[in-house]
Amino acid sequence: APGRPGAHGTLITVAPTGAEHAKADVPTLPVTLDELVRTARDCEHVGAAMIHVHVRDDQARPTLDLGRLRETVAALRSETNLVVQLSTGGAVTDPEADRLRVLDALPDSASCTMGTVNFGDDVFLNRWEFIVELHRRMRERGIVPEYEIFDLGQLAALRRLLDEHGLPAGGHVHVDLVMGVPGGMPGDAETLVAALRLLPEGATFSATGVGRATLPVLFASLAAGGHLRVGMEDTLSYARGERVRDNAQLVARAAGLARVAQRPPLTPDEVREILGVRL
Ligand code: KMH
Ligand code: ZN
């Protein structure tokens, strides 16, 4: 693990919003552009290097509106130095055409989920042809993918994608293990180690645990030389019986633990170099 690119430090990605939580239930969720930019600045200040972005409309509902995505990318670029990653996952009901159009907003990076998975009571559909099209368009536009892995079979799909369609933009493979989604792989150290055995050679990985998998996955990833994703998309509870105050609280905790592990937070520019994001 210490031999992985960037393993001297820790990439901390913040996923501040997601598509699943309602603003009415979670008033501190950043949903407006203003709230998002403020969150991004606060999170950068305490150690985040990348932001995984879902946007909301004026009613705080998830949207893939291209104008809003473009405006968001521009604002995050001008107000922070964070690597800006847009979600192409959207919400479980979003049509493929809308999800592909996200790439027209030209972010630094975008997510690319490597297969279909049960997602709570819903199905998060990712057909093979759709995955290939995401990969192809990202390479065409110079957008660096982050391959989202919800289950172990999706790592076999990633190998197939790279074998059949070649390396992504930037020439480097970066994976995010999303663990503990009901319907996906469990969020524990044993499963994380099993996933690592299936990673393509030379790939870097981050991991995030959803809900109560948050801390086990965070510790397991740090111990294995991996990077971290944290944020209110994945976790609303800070400790037993204690709600998350804001995203920066989660980033600050991750940064502190990364320092304890002697793998301090990487800067956005270090992350650009590791992931092959154009400057
Ligand atoms: N909202 C989930 C259905 C991604 O951002 O790429 C999918 C998701 C993954 O959050
Ligand atoms: Zn997401």
Q: Judging by beta carbons within 10 Å of its beta carbon (0-12, 13-18, 19+), is residue 273 exposed, middle or buried? A: middle
State whether residue 135 is helix, strand or coil: helix
Residue nearest to atom 1 of ligand 1 (CA): 91
Give the burial string for 86-122 (b: 16+ CB within 10 Å, else e). Answer: bbbbbbeebebeebebbbebbbbbbbbbbbbbebeee
Pocket test for ligand 1, best of 124, 206, 232, 234 (most atoms within 8 A of CB): 124
For residue 167, give its domain range: 12-275
Q: Is residue 31 part of a domain?
A: yes
Write down the pTM of the prediction: 0.98
Pocket test for ligand 1, best of 102, 148, 177 (most atoms within 8 A of CB): 148
**Res 1: pLDDT:** 46
Residue nearest to atom 8 of ligand 1 (CA): 89
Q: Is residue 141 part of a domain?
A: yes
Q: What is the domain count for the chain?
A: 1
Q: Is residue 119 part of a domain?
A: yes
Q: Is residue 1 part of a domain?
A: no
C-alpha 58 – ligand 2 centre gap (Å): 19
Q: Is residue 2 part of a domain?
A: no
CATH number, position 181: 3.20.20.70
**Res 70: pLDDT:** 98
Q: Is residue 3 part of a domain?
A: no
Cβ partners under 8 Å of residue 197, min gap 6: none
Instruction: Decide: 208 and 15 in contact? Cβ < 8 Å.
Output: yes
The distance between the two most distant Cα atoms of the chain, rounded to a whole number of Å, is 48
Cα 74 from Cα 149, distance rounded (Å):
28
* Whether the CB of 238 sits within 6 Å of ligand 1: no
Ranges of residues in the chain whose predicted pLDDT is under 50: 1-2
Write the DSSP string, 11-77: -EEE----SSS-TTT-TTS--SHHHHHHHHHHHHHTT--EEEE-EE-TTS-EE--HHHHHHHHHHHH
